[in-house]
Structures are given as C-alpha cells and as structure tokens.
Homo-oligomer: A and B are copies of this chain.
C-alpha cells in the first residue's frame, strides 16, 4: 500500500512540528505502508522571500521569483529527511528536478505535465521514506517553476496519480471540510465525505482547504483525498467520487460566502451583438478574472449587464468598463458593499425546488437578492454585505446542516 501525505506550512512551521510529521510517517511505515511526504515551506517563509523580492523590484522577474521561493519547500524537505534519519529511519529528499516533475514554463502558475516514476520507485524499494518539496517543478529546459499558492496540494495529488497511490492525505490546520465557515456559524459541521464536484464548487467559492487544481487532478485520475488535521487526531473529510458517497437525506453539503468581490453594472447597453464580448475581452486582456456575469432579457432593445470581480481588481475593472460605457453612452456603476452567499450540493441534481427554498429562506430574513447565478450543483446569490453572516446561518439551519440536526456517518 502506498500513501502520499502532504503537510501545509503550519504543520511544519518549526522543528518540533516537523518531528511530529516524521513520527506519523514512521508509524505508517511500521504498519507496512510505503510513504511519500510532500511538504510546504515553513509558515511565513514564502512571504518572507516574496517580501525580499519586492524590496528588490516593484515587479520582480517571474522566472527568478520561482528560483527564490522554491527554496522554502527545499528547506523543509531537507529538515524532514534529517529528522527521519535522526529517528533511525531511511529517508531521502528528492527535489522536483531530481524526479523530473516536468511542468510547462508558466512561472508562478505552472502546471505539471509529467513525473518520472523510476527514481521514486527505486528509492521506495530501498526502504526509504521519500520527502518531496511541494509547489515546484522544472520545465523542459531545466528552469525552476512553481505551481501557485496551494501548489503543494497539487504536487501531492500528482504524485499519488503518477504512482497510483492508494490514498492521498492532505494534512492541514483544520480537521476537514466543513458545511460552512465555523467562524460565522457555530453550528458548522465537518463533512465525512464530499464529492470532487462539490469540493470544486466549495473551493472556488472561498473554502480555502484545497487548491482547486489539485481537486481537478484528483477527479481526473480518481485519487481519493483525505483532508485531516496535523495537530489533532480525527477522521477528516474524504474527497472522492460521487458514487462512493452514501446519499444522506440532506441535499446540500455546504454553505459558503465571499465578501471579497464588488459588483459592476452597465445600465442600458444597446442590445447589439458584440458589446458584451468587447467588455469581457477588455477585462480579460487586463488579466482580470470575472466571477459572476448576469444579463437579463432586454427591454426596449437595451440590456443591463452586471458582473463581479475581486476587490483587488475593482478599480481597474471599473475604469475599463467606464471607458467602454462612454463610447456606447451607457452608465456604469460599482457596488463594493456586497456579499456572495452560495449553497452547494450534488443532491440538487435530483431535488427540485432547492433554489426557491433558498430564496424563501433569504426573504424570510428580510434579505433582498441582488443577483442570482446557478450551476448544476450550486446556487449563488449576491446580497447586501451586512446580511452575509445572517444569510449563511439561516441557510445552514433551514437546509438541515446544523450540527445537532444530523447524525454523522460512522
């Protein structure tokens, strides 16, 4: 049996915690499993390095930033291998270029293309626990690349996929995936299982447990991911394919919310082909990622187009949109005072009336809905910011997610 374990920055933030990681790995090994450990940089280290880069340059060269920040994971890898050997176990660190974690050349957001199995298999056969720095790769010319924030999750899943591991465990500072943010709703509950699709919706909606790309990869290669706490014992949450989830009565798995977006509306856009395309091409050219886009049926040959972007892009997006607005004599307005509340669940597919139930719950709290957007397993509503937490608690309760309402699977 082969297990890939990944530890985030807080789980390896000092040598004491690294010793705990080593102990667990040796324990697994003692139970007859082969173990590969993927580590993040010690918490704070990546930011320390990035601050140095920004001290040196306003827009530091991306290739060199990857050379810089990839050292964080390398340090943790070496320290963990040293610790494992000190504890009397064979161990070896293998860096991205040593096991040919080949990626494309998109510095800072590279994608893994392939991993060489041979060297890892050889080191496992010699009885080693293998330590791999997460987050990094090399391109075909041997340049160091990094996979973006949270990239260590993706390294772990990619290794699990390449080596056909039985399980990929992601150890983090929370003990699993929750029905909603426990800081907002004290009745939030850890899920025993969640499907890849649900996890993708949860992740993109702001539940920062796993890097989205790692979930996509896990789904593609059918790698089961167990999300667990490195700090306490517990069951964790299994992210797996839908068929493995015994349907509970509950149709909704989680409620998420996001206060980090703004809403931009262009009023009275002439209903002609090509205008929406122009707006969103311009935004895309400026590297602005648009989240929700809503356009209603036209009245009098005019439309209102509304979209949301993250706050960091708000000013730039508003400026671009306003310029296009001027040309077509349309007024542009921005609203920064919004929250997006979403419900996610594969149960939605087979249950009618979920959307109307959501709207009714919100109405019951006197909350006005400004925008609605739906996918197959998700419904999102934009509401006034101040109602965000109230909406989360109300939805969590009325969709039967509150802790006392549900008995956990055993």
Chain A interface residues (CB < 8 Å from chain B) = 15, 18-19, 49, 52-53, 55-61, 63-65, 67-68, 71, 74-75, 77-79, 81-83, 85-86, 92-93, 95, 97-98, 142-144
Q: Are B64 and A78 in touch, CB under 8 angstroms?
A: yes
Q: A194 CA to B118 CA in the complex, in Å?
A: 52
Most buried by B among A52, A71, A82: A82
- Excluding A56-B83, A64-B81, A71-B75, 17 further A-B contacts by CB distance (< 8 Å) are A15-B52, A53-B79, A53-B82, A56-B79, A57-B86, A60-B82, A60-B85, A64-B79, A64-B82, A64-B93, A65-B82, A67-B78, A67-B81, A67-B93, A67-B95, A68-B78, A68-B79
Q: A53 CA to B77 CA in the complex, in Å?
A: 11
Q: Are A78 and B65 in touch, CB under 8 angstroms?
A: yes
* A143 contact set on B, CB distance < 8 A: 98
Cross-chain pairs A/B with CB under 8 angstroms, 28 sampled? A19-B56, A52-B79, A53-B78, A53-B79, A56-B82, A57-B82, A57-B83, A58-B86, A59-B86, A60-B82, A60-B85, A61-B82, A61-B86, A64-B79, A64-B81, A64-B85, A65-B78, A67-B74, A67-B77, A67-B78, A67-B81, A68-B74, A68-B75, A68-B79, A68-B82, A71-B74, A97-B97, A98-B142
Q: A53 CA to B93 CA in the complex, in Å?
A: 14
* A93 contact set on B, CB distance < 8 A: 64, 67
Q: Are A55 and B92 in touch, CB under 8 angstroms?
A: no
Q: A98 CA to B19 CA in the complex, in Å?
A: 33
Q: In the assembled complex, how far is the CB of residue A37 from the closest CB belonging to chain B, in whole angstroms?
A: 13
Q: In the assembled complex, how far is the CB of residue A17 from the closest CB belonging to chain B, in whole angstroms?
A: 11
* A78 contact set on B, CB distance < 8 A: 53, 64-65, 67-68
The 6 closest A-B pairs by CB, nearest first: A57-B86, A68-B78, A71-B71, A67-B78, A15-B55, A64-B81
* A75 contact set on B, CB distance < 8 A: 49, 52, 68, 71
Most buried by B among A55, A56, A144: A56
